[in-house]
Amino acid sequence: EMFDEEGNGDVKTQELERLMSLMGINPTKRELSQMAKDVDKDGKGTFNCDSFLGLMALYHERTKNQDAELRAAFKVFDKEAKGYIDWNTLKYVLMNAGEPLNEEEAEQMMKEADKDGDGTIDYEGTKTTSDEVFVFFF
């Protein structure tokens, strides 16, 4: 009702970002654009509750799959299965894999990821930051 301005069961797709934000979901502009296409099948610029629920189910499934992929990527770098990646390993990877960072950029990313300052990144303890680090590679 809060987003259904005309009381006809439809919500404008331009409200999708605000609606997602209220649910604690902050998609990128690209993801948001795709979500709008997913819910607005007829191209009228609106969507209904059923379309939105379908989108949420799809989003949840994608999130589950991404978590599994990120966990697998984390394990590649955590060769001894300690549950964390140390600074030297991460720095090497950041400076040599994917789109390489310079030393200053690598150190900044590590500071953001190492919430407790112990020189390691723990997958479970800093999952959100770990997502940001590992999405960088994939």
Give me the domain span that covers residue 93.
Answer: 78-135
- Position 127 scores a pLDDT of 47
Q: Is residue 50 domain-resident?
A: yes
> How many Å apart are CA 130 and CA 115, to the nearest integer?
11
Q: Is residue 71 domain-resident?
A: no
- Position 58 scores a pLDDT of 83
The whole-model pTM stands at 0.47
Ordered per-residue pLDDT tens for the chain, 138 residues: 667 677 777 888 888 888 888 888 888 888 888 888 888 888 888 888 888 888 888 888 877 777 777 778 778 888 888 888 888 888 888 788 777 788 888 888 878 777 788 888 887 644 444 444 444 443
- Position 47 scores a pLDDT of 86
Let me know: does 17 contact 24? Beta carbons within 8 Å.
no
Q: Is residue 73 domain-resident?
A: no
Residue 25 is given by DSSP the state -
- Position 129 scores a pLDDT of 46
- Position 136 scores a pLDDT of 46
Q: Is residue 22 domain-resident?
A: yes
Q: Report the number of distinct structural domains present in the chain.
A: 2
Residue 43, phi then psi, degrees to nearest 5: 70, 20
